[in-house]
Amino acid sequence: MQHSHPDPYVPGHGDLAYDVEHATVELDYRPSSNLLEGTATLTVVAAEPVRRLQLDLAHLRVSRVLVDGLRVRHAHTGTRVAVTLAEEVPAGTRMLVHVDYRGTPRPLRMRAFGEAGWEELADGVIVAAQPHGAPSWMPCNDRASSKATYDLVVRVPSEYAVACSGEQTAVERHGSTRTWRFAQRAPMAPYLATVQIGRYQEVRQRASVPMRVLRPSGLPKATFDASFGLQPQMLACFEAEFGPYPFEGYTTVVTDDVLEIPLESQSLSTFGRNHCSTDWDAVRLIAHELSHQWFGNAVTARTWRDIWLHEGFACYSEWVWSEASGGLTIDEQAALHHARLTGLPQDLVLSDPGAADMFDDRVYKRGALALVALRRTIGATAMRTLLHAWIDEHAGGVVETADLVALAVRVSGRDVAPLLAEWLDDPALPELPAVRPA
């Protein structure tokens, strides 16, 4: 049995017939020509009896595929590489799938979302793969529910710095090139894997985990300190509210280019130099991306219909930071945004917004308001307990909205399912419950 559409929001991506346990991806990249040569070795496990594996890879040419060291037939059509095994293997079979590929990578376009994936900058590269761009640079099982550990190895000319998802384990100099090695030991969805290449300077920050910023020259110190310089305090705030930071470290890349929106990936976030600003709209986005390490990256929605479990939580986290840093309180932010949402169309269902609306700002703000409604109902202390338990019980895994509702009922000891159903399943915007006395 072959499953072509594990997630209807991103048809034609991912294969439920197998899971990836580990991926080693080695890249040789020349920025001057945008030529990428890659090898990927995937440790896969059959989830059912299977004769053919579907890999996702776009715009790049596969030269050969090996399974357990033996060459096998493959057919590359569009964004899919069909790998035919020598014989059908039973469920539970573990295989080593090796793919050699090369070409000039470019973003992958999908009508509902536009472009995502490997993108050339004026001088360097960013990879922003959410939700469908991972196949633009590596063969993968492109579904959020296929989490694997990763080793990422990138060889570039020596004047460039590289940052990837995971801990940097080595940098090796060979003549005019450098090889950068990274290990992501926590399970990661393919769309959260990233490669950033540019001429960057490193700034280290003091925090409970290693934090560093890769930045271009020429950013004003006072503005940097009042924006990205706040990240250690944000980390401490979020650790108190959500539990320990879930990865080995956190890297922030600030490109020399202007980026419309920051980009989230596992243990790494990417911003444009325009986000180096003291404006609340810039600072809130720095908090937003950091909070995704808990909500979205450590704990990931199984399918994209539940994206509010990422974006609603990250927007709520902005309000947590606002209150902690002396700005508007969580309740003041909620009142402000509830008033704004009342003036917008009431036709979005938070628990299944549809692919075209999954990045609609109403998903972010209504998701955050649903959490405030829950917080006002069960109290701030129970809310903190709930968020700690959410991460503690699900880190490294995938979740659905029903998991959160069940946990909220269990932690609070109250039947909050009807309250959440109003916010999640009805298009009309509910009123916020009254603020509980402290």
DSSP string of 333-345, one letter each residue: HHHHHHHHHHTS-
User: In terms of residue numbers, what domain contains 345?
Assistant: 300-425
Would you say residue 68 lies in a domain?
yes
Determine the average pLDDT of the residues in 392-413.
98
Whether residue 178 sits in one domain with residue 56: yes
Whether residue 312 sits in one domain with residue 166: no
- 4 pLDDT exceeds 80? no
Cβ neighbors of 84 (< 8 A, separation 6 or more) are 51, 52, 72, 73, 74, 75
Torsion angle of the four alpha carbons 255, 257, 263, 268, in this order, in degrees rounded to the nearest 10: 0
Domains contained in the chain, number: 2
Tens of pLDDT, residues 360-378? 999 999 999 999 999 999 9
Report the candidate in 280, 172, 151, 176 with the shortest Cα–Cα distance to residue 226: 280
CATH of the domain at 361: 1.10.390.10
Whether residue 152 sits in one domain with residue 23: yes
Cβ neighbors of 243 (< 8 A, separation 6 or more) are 294, 387, 388, 391, 392
Residue 438 pLDDT level (bands cut at 50, 70, 90): low
pLDDT at 111: 86
Would you say residue 218 lies in a domain?
no
Instruction: Report d(CA 88, CA 305) in Å as an integer.
Output: 33
Would you say residue 235 lies in a domain?
no
pTM to 2 decimal places? 0.97
Question: Given strand 211-215, what is the order of strands in its sheet?
Answer: 201-205, 211-215, 250-255, 268-272, 263-265
Whether residue 182 sits in one domain with residue 35: yes
Would you say residue 112 lies in a domain?
no
- 127 pLDDT exceeds 50? yes
Report the candidate in 308, 289, 278, 299 with the shortest Cα–Cα distance to residue 234: 289
Would you say residue 248 lies in a domain?
no
Q: For residue 432, give the DSSP letter.
A: P
Would you say residue 61 lies in a domain?
yes
Would you say residue 86 lies in a domain?
yes
CATH of the domain at 93: 2.60.40.1730
- 201 pLDDT exceeds 50? yes
Would you say residue 56 lies in a domain?
yes
- 313 pLDDT exceeds 60? yes
